[in-house]
Structure 1
């Protein structure tokens, strides 16, 4: 350990790098504040002050390492194109996760103040509002469960196929999956509820 005391952003980056390394090397079930503190060469109380539980720490480490899931709302020029772009990003992000990380966060993050699972519905709602502005939809005032449906369906498929999700998302299967989610389920529902006047 150096003689210079790390603070602020430098210390936070060191802790988050250590947390990601612990997750990748040992798995989420073995992630502990003690282990991260030892790897980061700091005290576990320093970690607890910033992230009260390991789910919050893991989400912060993911965002620090992989960047934000969505930096801007997709604008491809069509509702389907925007949704496909968003779901492809989500599928690609899932390829970065170990299966145990995915399972662990689904189990623990909803009980924690992580924001896990809340980003996608907000982006999907913005996509729907853009479709209204283009005249593809009459309105975007849809129930929350409808808005979250494509992300929920993709998350379910990733959960169901977690051990091989990297291969699924890396091959042609993902296009078939997105077509089923968008063309067979979500878009017909949205058009039935909010399609433009004919």
Structure 2
């Protein structure tokens, strides 16, 4: 790996460069090889600069993963019906998170020991948009008359993505369209009281 040429960067530009370097180091070498020196060399900066922002590599790793999720946000599908919207959303999760899921389940084992935390706790720190995206999808379904306008428990709202993420973490493989269909059709849609609007 060739170190990047040092540039005079400050503020957000420098922070983004460090986070990208940390993410790439995580992906390529795993958490065990995530050192401030390695990230500084890759980002073309110095260790003191990194330490001023993140006092240890665990916080840097979380920040790098959060930044990665921010720059690759989920799309909000609008197919015209709830069933296909949720399927598209889960397919997007598979496309964006396959590598992240492997990273969290395997390559971060040392991170969990070091921080005395769990994948669930890490999830709350780096994943924040999925439930809001699902809420938008559900709001559209209410307006179309596909589900009743009543409160849905947060655990049910997040169930499709949670189950999909668990599937990928357990198998270390991208979830198939068959698995996605089972999650949506057999579990999620019945729980939210989905009814397909009559054809016009």
Does the aligned pair in 2 maintain the 1:109–1:116 contact within 8 Å? no
2:11 is matched with which residue? 8
Does the aligned pair in 2 maintain the 1:124–1:148 contact within 8 Å? yes
Displacement after TM superposition at 1:6 (Å): 1.8
**Off by >6 Å, runs of 4+ in structure 1:** none
Using structure 1 for the length normalisation, give the TM-score.
Answer: 0.77
Does the aligned pair in 2 maintain the 1:23–1:101 contact within 8 Å? no
CA 1:50 to 1:114, structure 2 compared with 1: closer, same or farther past 3 Å? farther
Q: Which moved more, 1:74-83 or 1:138-147?
A: 138-147
Alignment length (residue pairs): 183
CA deviations over 1:8-39 (Å, ceiling 9, x no partner): 23322321231122113211333233321232
CA 1:31 to 1:156, structure 2 compared with 1: closer, same or farther past 3 Å? same
Displacement after TM superposition at 1:150 (Å): 0.4
In the alignment, is residue 93 of structure 1 matched against residue 99 of structure 2? Answer: no
The answer for unaligned runs of 5 or more in structure 2 is: none
The answer for unaligned runs of 5 or more in structure 1 is: none
CA deviations over 1:89-141 (Å, ceiling 9, x no partner): 10111233372344438855755697423211111111111100111111151
Does the aligned pair in 2 maintain the 1:150–1:182 contact within 8 Å? yes
Residue among 158, 165, 176 paired with 2:178: 176
Structure 1 distance, partners of 2:6, 2:93, is 42
In the alignment, is residue 131 of structure 1 matched against residue 135 of structure 2? Answer: no
